[in-house]
Structure 1
């Protein structure tokens, strides 16, 4: 099993198979528009810009499970991200990332890379680095800035 076995829905409402990203290095992130970590959108865009021509993608999944920090509609979230941070990497519809209604992708990710003390995602901007074979390489805490994992991205791209 790999991330390629999952599908999700884009911000535009289109079904998207993650198999479309086969052969690429991915950084999958649960995001929020009204969080103290929201400025990380800029860092995510920066690493996306820097490595996208080498087969790297950032995949953003808004989530409103942590203190209602992403209450907007998918359209409002997409507009906010583009207007405030120039986000051009793929963003998907809002999902749950923990609990009984968690999107199957996030259930898989958290089983593959457990966090500190628990496998559950504890906050917005938890990041999962995926290799070119769709396997989870690492998991990063919300406070880990995207720019600080560039060496891991570069290593995965080799």
Structure 2
């Protein structure tokens, strides 16, 4: 099984098969427009513009599960991202990433790359109490802890890395370059 076995919903409700992205390096991200990490969109767009011609795609999935930080309709979220950050990468329908209504793609991503910690930096220290409010068992499960968790997928559809939102984008970009 690989990510290519999944289909996802577009903002308009139509379906896209991830087979459409076969042979590309993918960064799959759950996002939010009202999160402290929302400025990450700017760096994601820079990375996208740098590598998209080399076979790289970012797949953006808004999620409102973390303190309601992705309010609004799919179109409102898309307008915010394109107007404020100039995003051009594909943005899909808002989804749940944890719990009984979790999107099957994200269930699979979590199975392939479990949670290994928030990291050892100021951002991780700051986030821990907020993560604990959302998930009291956060240190012992593979659930997504917050918005802007990133999963890296190689050209064969294998999920090869997971980056928590507390990890800067430098190691993410380095890992992308290694796969291109």
TM-score band, normalised by shorter chain: over 0.9
Distance 2:74 2:105 in 1: 19
Maintained 8 Å contact 1:59/1:91: yes
SS at 1:67 equivalent: coil
Once the two structures are overlaid, the 10-residue window that deviates more, 56-65 or 116-125, is 116-125
Give the structure 1 partner of residue 147 of structure 2.
124
Contact 1:126 1:140 in 2 (8 A): yes
Question: Quick check: 1:10 aligned with 2:10?
Answer: yes
Structure with more of its chain in helix, by fraction: 2
> Hey, what's the Cα distance between the residues in 2 that align with 1:20 and 1:107?
20
Structure 1 unaligned regions, length at least 5: none
* Structure whose alpha-carbon radius of gyration is higher: 2
Q: Work out the number of aligned pairs and report it.
A: 157
User: 1:140 aligned to 2:140?
Assistant: no
TM-score using structure 1 length:
0.96
The Cα RMSD (Å) is: 0.9
State the 1:13 CA deviation: 2.6
User: What secondary structure, in the 3-state scheme, does the structure 2 residue paired with 1:109 have?
Assistant: helix
Runs (5+) with no aligned partner, structure 2? 117-139
Q: How much has 1:71 moved relative to structure 2? A: 1.1
Q: What corresponds to 1:54 in structure 2? A: 54
Deviation, structure 1 residue 11: 1.7
Deviation at 1:118, TM superposition (A): 2.0
CA apart distance, 1:150 = 1.4
